[in-house]
Structure 1
Amino acid sequence: MNKKNLRHRLSQPRTIVIALLTSLIVVAACKSNNFYSAPKVSAFRGGKLPAPPGMVYVPSGTILYKSSLDSGNVGKNISLSAFFIDETEVTNKQYRQFVNWVADSVAVTDYLNDDQYFLDIVGEDGQRRIDWKRVKRVSPLWKSNDPSIQERLAPMVIMKGARRALNEEIVKYRFSYLKSNGREETEYVTDTVPVMPIEDIWSKDFPNAQLASMDANYFTHESFDYYPVVGVTWKQARAYTDWRGKELMASIMKNSYLSGYHLTFSLPTEAQWQYAAEGKLDPRDTISGTRLTIDGKEGKKKLAVNYKQGEGTYSQDGATFTVPAKSYTPNAFGIYNMAGNVAEWTLDAYSPSAIAFVNDLNPVLLYDANESDSDALKRKVVRGGSWKDNGEQLNSETRNYVVEYEPHSYIGFRCVMSAFEMPTDQSKTRRY
């Protein structure tokens, strides 16, 4: 490959391309016509992989994992492979992009059925493929001022006071996953999830408080673009992670040498969340990476974490509700607001004794409940504490749960993506 072509390839979406290309180089080095010859191991220069947009790299490591049954128990060490995690909670702006993508999909395939929005390609499922380059020029279609489009998309739109909004019963996302029943993973299932967050969740959570302004503006107004999205269920959060992985794959498909490589996005497991929150590489380290206070005037300390300081005391941290996603100081991994702001959904089903039976390598407790199951089987682990929680909930080891279908104004989420185990200086080949 000449230098000109190499420069062109490296000018593609930088973060993912460099990360995947680096791993592919390592794999390619192992390819040889001599099956009995292995290459020497060289350490990956730089120490960590470049991260996808909006994410940070968390290297493999070990943490002390504890149970909910006894706060004084010693727990056990568990190890985690390297992964990428969002540096912030998913924001309103990011989640609106997901909602509008789903709405555009529904509009094009179910209502407009206009050839100009389709490619001359039919997929394996027999469905025509949407020309997203064309759609994105006029997205979101449901907000179009074209009278003919408005008329055909009328079933997708409802009125909320004086403004038009999406009909949550129509704007749904369909995705497939391997269903877990707690014993063995047996089948792939397809789920269809309404994607609109509950916008009036503020008044629903606090019925005797004046929060109509938050209901009307928090998800939709640009002044809240970079605040964490709330009012989403566990299934909605999981649907977003599925979509985000597919969107990222689509953005790098131009690079044929990456074709076929599967990027796995999900909610963080409970163990991944705790490891990332503590910002440390060894169980003997302290949680020194997170600054919970800053120096104010006249030598006074000021809070730099968003939580409820006491009965009726919300504002001493600089806000009465949520704060922008990049507020305060990131921890040692470069991650913002793992303590406070909004609590966060994790992938795990909740069990107070999970530590007793999960693996000590990349542990996770998966259980996909049926509609007929009791709420006890629909509980999902929530971590981190929020703007309305007291200080005890901010501890990285504190475990809570919420039923998967319950959205709240104090619960958001972030995504993780699997990363590669790159050769380190410790594992490189040396002379005897």
Structure 2
Amino acid sequence: MRKHYPTFTFGLFILTVLVSMQACKSSSSIYKAPKVAAFRAGKMPAPPGMVYVPSGTILFKSSLDTADTGKNVSLSAFFIDETEVTNKQYREFINWVADSIAVTDYLNDDQYFLNTGEQGEERRIDWKKVKKASPIWKSNDPTIRERLAPMLEMRGSQRTLNPEVLRYRFSYQKTKGNINKVYVTDTVPVMPVEEIWSSDFPNAQLASLDVNYFTHQSFDYYPVVGVTWRQARAFTDWRGKEIMATLMKNSYLSGYQLTLSLPTEAQWQYAAEGKLDPRDTSSTKRMTIDGSEGKEKLAVNFKQGDGTYSRDGATFTLPVKSYTPNAFGIYNMAGNVSEWTLDAFSPSAMVFVNDLNPALLYDADEKDADALKRKVVRGGSWKDNGEQLNTDTRNYSVDYEPHSYIGFRCVMSAFEMPTIQSKTRKF
């Protein structure tokens, strides 16, 4: 007698087989990794205004002492600004801070907010509306001008922002070497010292630079100066948040959590050397830019000798895209302005740092001695002689001190892309 099995049982059997086959197929596919192909010679598309620097190795020294042989250190890939931060870019930061203070502390107008802040809810600024009116502090509306009066001051015949009011608040991990790493919130005054030219050179007639350099549009694309290390770090925090909030939404970097900061001095040196071949571990070739023959060897903005500032085409700073970029596409890593780095300065830094992504970090307290507040400055400037332009020359300034010859640029973390070295080949 033939047995009749229920239809659903036979269907369940078929379904079970299919699921088992799919499961086998699915589980086996996770073990099939694709072969590695070089991604356009290892270059990763960079955010606007930045360039991609692949991983590599440099000879890193603590000092210029001939007995200091240094050591090889390796750097992971990163993005770096192709130019020094300009007056125009820094003014955008200033206006953002001024707008946020204006709408939250003085205007308190609902039209500038996304919500009402009821029942203890924190009010959030509607930046789309704010940017349409930005910079609000320059408004000609008499009512707004009256309400913003505490934010402003008169400098000569010009109405300008009060530096004491203009402060940026941000949080960061405070580090003192390898101990006491805690998150703190800091409030930093962000206005550059516009009179820095006369302050640095008191016996020179530089009053016209004091009143025009940061504010006049003819200097828009010159490097910002008169900015302390603390202010430069505040700018990198703001810009990092702007990039993550806007550029990342509809780009190939969407979904990543990437950080922006000042470059470590090792990152700065590697970017300055411009080694396109990551296998090149040779020691730095020192630039000997001296006297009258210096300009034939390298086109940069620096002091060629006593009293000879103008032979390179400028007495002071130049627009940030002057001269020719290096092999990475980066401008003015030597000359124009020296640049703040993230590192604390120590003559024996090599003793303390790792040989992979080295950084000597130390956030001094206000009561600490100046020796603990020294930050590494690299690159040489318009007022320095040739030997200061060597890629391994180190200098320093304290973190609260601005100068007319120190600017900065930003770096952002990146991911390493396969290069021709790692491309899969037949055995």
Q: 2:357 aligns with which of 341, 362, 372?
A: 362
Matched, 1:193 2:188: yes
- Counterpart for residue 12 of structure 2: none
Instruction: Determine the structure 2 residue equivalent to 1:160.
Output: 155
The offset of 1:303, in angstroms, is 6.2
Q: Does 1:183 align with 2:181?
A: no
| Alignment-derived partner of residue 281 in structure 2 | 283
Provide the residue aligned with 1:388 in structure 2: 383
Q: What is residue 224 of structure 2 aligned with on the other side?
A: 229
Q: C-alpha distance in 1, partners of 2:146/2:423?
A: 65
Task: In structure 2, give the amino acid aligned to 1:274.
Answer: Q
Other-structure match for 2:36: 42
Contact 2:288-2:386 within 8 A present in 1 as well: no
Which ranges in structure 1 are unaligned for 5 or more consecutive residues?
1-31
- Partners of 1:33 and 1:147 in 2: CA distance: 70
* Structure 2 residue identity aligned to 1:155: P
Q: Is the contact between residue 40 and residue 428 of structure 1 (CA under 8 Å) also seen in structure 2?
A: no
What's the offset of the Cα at 1:129?
A: 1.3
Q: Distance in 2 between matches of 1:35 and 1:382?
A: 52
Counterpart mapping for 1:257-272 below 5 A: 261-272=256-267
Instruction: Give me the whole-angstrom Cα distance separating, in 2, the residues matched to 1:301 and 1:256.
Output: 42
Letter in 2 for 1:180: T
| Counterpart contact for 1:292–1:305, Cα < 8 Å | no
TM superposition shift of 1:119 = 1.0
Tell me the number of residue pairs that the alignment of Structure 1 and Structure 2 aligns.
395
Asked whether the equivalents of residues 42 and 425 of structure 1 are also in contact (C-alpha less than 8 Å), the reply is: no
**Which stretch shifts more, 114-123 or 370-379?**
114-123
* CA displacement at 1:138 relative to structure 2: 1.0
Match of 1:25 in 2: none
- Rounded to whole Å, the distance in 2 between the matches of 1:207 and 1:126 is 51
Superposed, 1:32-181 pairs within 5 Å as 37-47=31-41, 48-68=43-63, 70-120=65-115, 126-181=121-176
Q: 1:109 to 1:384 in 2, by over 3 A?
A: same
1:26 corresponds to: none
Preserved contact between residue 231 and residue 408 of structure 1 (Cα < 8 Å): yes
**Partner residue of 2:240?**
245
TM-score by length of 1: 0.86
**Identity of paired residues, percent?**
75
Aligned-pair Cα RMSD in Å = 2.5
1:258 Cα shift?
6.3
1:250 Cα offset (Å): 1.2
Is the contact made by 2:59 and 2:281 (CA closer than 8 Å) also made in structure 1?
yes
- The equivalent position to 2:370 in structure 1, one of 359, 372, 375, is 375
210-219 vs 247-256, greater mean Cα deviation: 247-256
- Higher Cα Rg: structure 1 or 2? 2
> Gaps spanning 5+ residues in structure 2: where?
1-25
1:136–1:396 Cα change, 3 Å: same
Deviation at 1:68, TM superposition (A): 1.3
Per the alignment, residue 9 of structure 1 pairs with none
* 2:93/2:235 contact within 8 Å kept: yes
Query: In structure 1, how many angstroms separate the alpha carbons of the residues matched to 2:68 and 2:97?
Result: 46
Q: Residues 257 and 58 from structure 1, CA distance in 2 versus in 1: closer, same or farther, beyond 3 angstroms? A: closer
Letter aligned with residue 31 of structure 2 = S
User: Is residue 329 of structure 2 the alignment partner of residue 331 of structure 1?
Assistant: no
